[in-house]
Amino acid sequence: MAKRDYYEILGVGKNATDDELKKAYRRLAMKFHPDRNPDDESAMEQFKDAKEAYEILKDPQKRRAYDQFGHAGVSNSAGGPGGPGGFHGDVGDIFGDIFGDIFGGSGRRRQTRQRGSDLRFSLDLDLEEAVSGIDREIRVPTLGECKTCNGSGAKDGQKQTCSTCGGVGQVRMQQGIFSVQQTCPACQGTGQQISNPCGDCNGQGRIRETRTLSVKIPAGVDTGDRIRLAGEGEAGAHGAPAGDLYVEVRVRPHRLFERDGDDLYCEVPVPFTLAAMGGELEIPTLDGQVKLKVPSETQTGRMFRLKSKGVKSVRSHRTGDLMCRVVLETPVKLTREQKDLLKQFEKTFTEDNSLHNPRSQSWLKGVREFFDRMTS
């Protein structure tokens, strides 16, 4: 019976790349693997065919011979020992490059010790503290290195080679004709065991504690900024390196200022008479009070910019601006005399109110035009 074309078996074209060959074989191997198809001779044959095809085509020299002479060019290579279709040797070793990314690789090297977890600590600051910078002490609950055993987990500091994995850190699990590597359950991949565990940490090498740390907050930080303290996170198990601590800044809302990047915004209430006639106001800034000159006929909503009165950036060292928005304050709780004076003041306006109240007149004109369009 004539053998099927290898490219046809894998379902790829003759110009298929190595990655395309690998993906095609992986798909077929997972579909027809004997563990997934017990007692299915047809699946077993298709699995063998796919394996044979991939073994030939993944080798550049064998592939060239097959492309030139067909099956005759590789008759002594296909299937390995035992001839074409032969199924000898350890499947896990032969196809480790295919299944390694699924089952964790060959696992022939001992795993490195896993460092401790990183921690995050939220630190609330007032705006003044964030702008000027401050040194703060914080208390962080964490897992620290056991001082009794110096983090080793062993009472006497002695560790032995793991008897289960022989110090490799992984064990081989056989499933039918297929074998995979797994982390050793006895030593969790470290390759070592403790026969006399430390009584204070129960052999873990770390204990729960609350640590007091000093944190230097640089000037200009803002909400969301993080400060990394290397090695101040959780200690690693069995003497592994510690993780890092990330201090995340949160700036509390301020009574006067609202921050936007390096700029500050504030609302400035302005009396009616000062807005009309002009004058000066005392404005608070981070550096103290400054005088703001308010020109006559200032309307509510007008924005004044005070250059370099904002926040100095922690990154660029540029200093932002202070933006002051005028809010016209209408007098309240007027006396009868004050109301009479206002009425007399109103009578002094000319009949053409547009001269004194241009915005009001412009708005009324827009309203009339709107209703005219609605009724036309």
Sheet holding 263-271, edge to edge: 258-260, 263-271, 322-329, 303-306
Same domain, residue pair 45 and 156? no
Same domain, residue pair 177 and 262? no
Same domain, residue pair 265 and 242? no
Same domain, residue pair 140 and 236? yes
Whether 132 is covered by a domain: the verdict is yes
User: Is residue 358 helix, strand or coil?
Assistant: helix
On the CB side of 355, CA atoms within 13 Å amount to 5
Same domain, residue pair 124 and 206? yes
- pLDDT-derived band at 107 (thresholds 50, 70, 90) equals very low
Same domain, residue pair 276 and 317? yes
Same domain, residue pair 218 and 262? no
Q: Residue 328 to residues 68, 163, 209, 277, 325: CA-CA distances in angstroms? A: 91, 83, 56, 13, 10
Whether 281 is covered by a domain: the verdict is yes
Same domain, residue pair 231 and 128? yes
- Residue 187, sorted as left (phi over 0), alpha (psi -120 to 50) or beta, turns out to be alpha
Q: How many domains does the chain have?
A: 4
- pLDDT-derived band at 293 (thresholds 50, 70, 90) equals very high
Whether 95 is covered by a domain: the verdict is no
Q: Is pLDDT of 81 > 60?
A: no
Whether 10 is covered by a domain: the verdict is yes
pLDDT of residue 325: 96
Q: Tell me: the pLDDT tens digits for 211-261?
A: 999 999 999 999 999 999 999 999 988 778 899 999 999 999 999 999 999
For residue 170, the domain's CATH number is: 2.10.230.10
Same domain, residue pair 128 and 160? yes
Whether 110 is covered by a domain: the verdict is no
Whether 264 is covered by a domain: the verdict is yes
Whether 22 is covered by a domain: the verdict is yes
Q: Tell me: the pLDDT tens digits for 247-277?
A: 999 999 999 999 999 999 999 999 989 999 9
Contacting residues for 137 by C-beta, under 8 A, at least 6 apart: 212, 213, 214, 215
Whether 104 is covered by a domain: the verdict is no
pLDDT of residue 77: 54
Q: Which domain holds residue 84?
A: 6-88
Q: Is pLDDT of 327 > 90?
A: yes
Same domain, residue pair 228 and 290? no
Beta strand 245-251 pairing with 119-125: parallel
Find the helix or strand (DSSP H, E) in which 153 lies.
none
Same domain, residue pair 240 and 322? no
Q: Is pLDDT of 85 > 50?
A: no
Same domain, residue pair 158 and 267? no
